[in-house]
Amino acid sequence: MINAPEISSTRPYLIRALHEWCGDNGFTPYVAVSVDEGVQVPREFVKNGEIVLNVSLDATSNLRLGNDFIEFKARFGGVPRDILVPVGRVLAIYARENGQGMAFPGPQPSSTAAPAPTRVPLSVLPNQESPTEPPPPSPGGGKFTLKRVK
């Protein structure tokens, strides 16, 4: 069996896309972050192990939405702070004004054993036996059908 190259996470790409979407539509992008020792944020604003950060271009300076980290400088209570958030700790990115955005699976607890892969639940369409089987051909000549899951 040939070893496939490791595929990079879609999370940083989706964060950048939704950040851009917010800016294009005049919305304020917020990120919800699960805080641990690897997250550099003002601890006095952390509640229940999480913090919500305004990542708009107006609220930050030197914003970098990288593949591994979100980095920027921001003022908290008038005090400038350097912020460093590992992308894997981002729980969601959304528009403050209407809540539209995307949530991500939470980070895996750290341990010496290899963590179990994160599974995102899939919606089973009525004609499908399980989410792992391909859907039957659609009567519309190959068009895909999407089902909105809330």
Structural domains present in the chain: 11-103 (2.30.30.220)
**97, two tokens:** 């004004």
Which helix (H) or strand (E) segment is 14 a member of? helix 11-24
- In angstroms, rounded to a whole number, what is the distance separating the alpha carbons of residues 32 and 35? 9
pLDDT tens profile 98-130? 999 999 998 866 543 344 444 444 333 343 343
Who has greater pLDDT, 59 or 139?
59
pTM (two decimals): 0.69
The sign one gets for the Cα dihedral 128, 131, 133, 134 is positive
